[in-house]
Structure 1
Amino acid sequence: MSTSTLAVSDFPAVSALDARLRVERPAFTLDLALTAEPGEVVALLGPNGAGKSTALRALAGLLPLTGGHLSLDGRLLEAPARRLRAPAEERPVGVVFQDYLLFPHLSALDNVAFGPRCQGRPRREARAEAHAWLERLGLAEHASVRPGRLSGGQAQRVALARALAVRPRLLLLDEPLAALDARTRLDVRAELRRHLAEFEAVAVLVTHDPLDAMVLADRLVVIEEGREVQSGSPSEIARRPRTDYIARLVGLNLYQGVADGPHVTLPDGTVLATTEDLTGPAFVAFPPSAVTLYRERPRTSARNLWPAEVTGLDLHGDQVRADLTGPLPMAADLTAAAVADLRLTPGTEVWASVKATQTHAYPA
C-alpha cells in the first residue's frame, strides 16, 4: 500500500463534535459544552484540577457521563438521559497519551498496526498501513525497534502514528509534549503542528503549557473548576484575558474595575489611566515589560504611578521578574543590569510607573 492511499486529505471532511460533558463526582463536577468544526484543533487549557483530563477521558469513552450528551459526525455516542452509551472501543476516537502507553513487547510497526488489526483488517494490510504511517512521520527506519530503544521524540511520533492509523474522527492528545526535553519538544511541536494542520477531522488537545496551546490550536477553551471561563482564538485570549489564571498564563498584569472614560477605578479605589474610552465594568491589562521601576519618586509623564515593595526576584527567560506588592500588586520585567543598578532585593521599596499608552482596557 502506498503512502498516498493514507493521505489525511482522503478522509471525508464531515466530522463535527457536539458535546455537553457533565461528570459528577463527590468533590468535583465537570460541566462543559464543547463543539468543534471539521479540521479544527481545540485546546483545553486550565490549572491542575480544572477538569481537563476528566473531559478528555469522557470524550474517549473511558469515563461515563452523568449528564449531557456526546455526538460525533452526527452520530449520538452517549446520552445518559436515553441510557445510550457507545463503549470506548466502538468510538472512532484516537488517543495520544502523555506517557504514550506503547506496548513494550511490540515493535514500532506492530504498535501502529495494532489498531487496524483490532478493527478487523488482515495482518498484512494492517502492517502495510502501519509502515506507511511510520514513513510519513519519518520513522520508517525504526519500524522494527521496540519502544524501550526509542527516544522520547520517536516514541511520541509512534504514539501519534498509532492514533492516526485507526482513521479517527476525533483525535485526543493528552499533554503530548510533556515528557520531552526542551530541544526535542521544540522540534516535535513544529512537526505535530504540521500533521494537525493536515488533519481534517476534529482534534482536542489537553495541555497546561500556553505555548503548546498557542502554537498547536485554532481555538482555546479555558476551564477552571470544571467550567469554561473563556474561549476564543489564541490571539483573542492573549489580548483579552478574563481571569487571573489566564492573565498569568499569557504574561499580563490584569485588573478589574469600573470604567468612566479613560479611567478605571478598582474596588479598593485605585485608579488606572488608559487610552480607551469605556463606561461600566472593565478589565485593564498590561505586560510586565511595561512597568518601569525607580528607587525615588520620579518626575515622569506617566499617569500611572504607585509606591511598591519588591517581594521576589526570579529569572524569567533572559529577564528578571520582580513581584511587587502595594496599592497595585503586579509583576515587572527588568534586565539583570537594571536590577543591579537599582540594587533590588526582596523588601526594597520602589516606585512603579506604567504609561497609559501601554495599558489595554476592554469591557468585562
Structure 2
Amino acid sequence: MTDLDDTAPARAIPRAPAEGLDARLVVDRGGFRLDVELTAAPGEVVALLGPNGAGKTTALRALAGLVPLTDGRLLLDGVSLDRTPPESRPVGVVFQDYLLFPHLTALDNVAFGPRCRGATKAEARAQAAEWLDRMGLAEHAGAKPRNLSGGQAQRVALARALATRPRLLLLDEPMAALDARTRLEVRAGLRRHLAGFEAVAVLVTHDPLDAMVLADRLVVVEHGRVVQEGTPADIARRPRTDYIAQLVGLNLYRGRADGHTVRLDAGPAITTSEELSGPAFVAFPPSAVALFRDRPTGAGARNLWRCEVAGLETYGDRVRAGLTGELPLAADLTTVAAAELGLHPGAPVWAMVKATQTHAYPA
C-alpha cells in the first residue's frame, strides 16, 4: 500500500468544452453490445474498471481505432476521429504485453513513433534519448527487449507511446505482466509520469489498487454499460453493485430504508447509524463483523444473525470467513480467533455488526 502515500505533483485539470475526450462508444459484436459514454479533460486520468467480458478492452480498442464504432461519436479536442485511421490518430497505446520490437534497441523502439510521424532518424533518436532519460533508462538505451526487466520494458513501452506527444494515451492493463514486487515500484513511477501528462489518459484495468492509485476518476463497466463512475474515494465509499463492493472489500446489501432501519430486498433488516427513507444501500467491511459460537448474552436482536461457515481463506495473519444463513456475508478475524472459535466449513456461528460500523446511502 506504499503507493497510496506517494506524493505525485498536483494535477490541474482545465475544463474547456472543445478540449479533451468526448465519446459515446457503441460497438456491436455478435451478441455483445458496448454502449459507454466517456469524457475526460486534458490532464485527467480515467480508469475503465470491470470484470472480464465487461467490454473495457473493446472500449479501449475503439478509442484507438482498432475496432470500428457501430454508432456514437469520438471527439478529441473537438475533432471527430470516427473515420480517422489508427495510424493517423494522435493516440499513444501501451499494450498489456508492451509489444516492443524484439530486434530493435530500447532507443530505436522509442524512436519508432517519431520516425513514423515524419521526424528524421537523428531527430527521432534525440527525442527517444530524452524520453529514456526521463524514464531513468538512459543507460539501457542500447539494450534489446530480451535483456530488459519487466519494469524496464514497461517504461520503454510508455516512453514509445509518449514520444509521439499524443493527445490521448491508452494503457491496457499496464501492470499485468509484472510480478507483485515490481508492480509496487512501477506503479509509483507510472503515477509520477501520468501526473505530468498534459493530455487525456485512459487506463483499462481489473486491479482496483492500480485504478485507485493511478486514476483521478473511475468508470466501472459491467455487461457493456457504465454502472458507476466517480472519484476513487466516492466509489470506495458508496459501491452500487456487488462487483464493486467485492473490489473495495465491503459487504453490500440493497433494501428500503425507514429511519435507522433498512429492510433488505432479500433478507433481514439492518439497523444503521444514518437516518434515511426510500431505496437504500447498506455497506460494512468484513472487519466490522464479530463472530461467536454461542448467541452473545445481553446482545439485542439488532444486527445479530445466525449463520454457517461456508468457506475459509487465509491472508497472512488474517482469516476471511464466508458465511451463509440469515445474512450471507464475509467476516475477517485473526488466525488465533478463528482457531479459538473452531471455525470450519459447516460450523454454526452468530455474526454481529454494530450500527455505527455500517454505512447507509440512497440507492
- Superposed pair shares fold, TM > 0.5: yes
Q: Contact 2:294–2:349 (CA<8 Å) still a contact in 1?
A: yes
1:327 Cα deviation from its structure 2 partner = 1.1
Give the structure 2 partner of residue 211 of structure 1. 209
Q: Aligned with 2:81: secondary structure?
A: strand
- Indicate whether 1:16 and 2:20 are aligned: yes
Q: Contact 2:267–2:326 (CA<8 Å) still a contact in 1?
A: no
1:269 Cα deviation from its structure 2 partner = 5.0
Q: Deviations over 1:62-113 (max 9, x none)?
A: 00000001000111111xxxxxx10000100000001000000000000000
1:316 Cα deviation from its structure 2 partner = 2.9
After TM superposition, the structure 1 stretch with the greater mean CA deviation from structure 2, 246-255 or 315-324, is: 315-324
Distance 2:46 2:172 in 1: 12
- Indicate whether 1:44 and 2:48 are aligned: yes
* Moved >2 Å (runs of 4+): 12-15, 299-303
Instruction: Please report the TM-score for the alignment, with normalisation by the length of structure 2.
Output: 0.94
Give the structure 2 partner of residue 283 of structure 1. 281
Match runs of 1:125-164 below 5 Å: 125-164=123-162
Match runs of 1:38-117 below 5 Å: 38-78=42-82, 85-117=83-115
Distance 2:30 2:176 in 1: 29
Q: Contact 1:263–1:272 (CA<8 Å) still a contact in 2?
A: yes
Match runs of 1:349-364 below 5 Å: 349-364=348-363
Q: Contact 1:13–1:200 (CA<8 Å) still a contact in 2?
A: no
Amino acid across the alignment from 1:50 = A
- Indicate whether 1:26 and 2:30 are aligned: yes
Distance 1:267 1:177 in 2: 39
Q: Aligned with 1:29: secondary structure?
A: strand
Distance 1:118 1:168 in 2: 13
Distance 1:278 1:90 in 2: 53
After TM superposition, the structure 1 stretch with the greater mean CA deviation from structure 2, 299-308 or 134-143, is: 299-308
> CA 1:349 to 1:229, structure 2 compared with 1: closer, same or farther past 3 Å?
same
Match runs of 1:159-170 below 5 Å: 159-170=157-168
Q: Deviations over 1:209-237 (max 9, x none)?
A: 00000000000000000000000000000
1:301 Cα deviation from its structure 2 partner = 4.5
Instruction: Please report the TM-score for the alignment, with normalisation by the length of structure 1.
Output: 0.94
Q: Contact 2:15–2:41 (CA<8 Å) still a contact in 1?
A: no
> CA 1:300 to 1:69, structure 2 compared with 1: closer, same or farther past 3 Å?
farther
Distance 1:317 1:219 in 2: 31
- In structure 2, the gaps of 5 or more residues are 1-10
Match runs of 1:237-252 below 5 Å: 237-252=235-250
1:318 Cα deviation from its structure 2 partner = 3.7
Q: Contact 1:312–1:324 (CA<8 Å) still a contact in 2?
A: yes
Give the structure 1 partner of residue 173 of structure 2. 175
2:272 to 271, 274, 284: 274
Distance 1:301 1:119 in 2: 72
Distance 1:268 1:168 in 2: 49
Amino acid across the alignment from 1:204 = V
- In structure 1, the gaps of 5 or more residues are 1-8, 79-84
CA RMSD of aligned residues (A): 1.3
Distance 1:123 1:300 in 2: 80
Distance 1:48 1:293 in 2: 33
Q: Aligned with 1:245: secondary structure?
A: helix
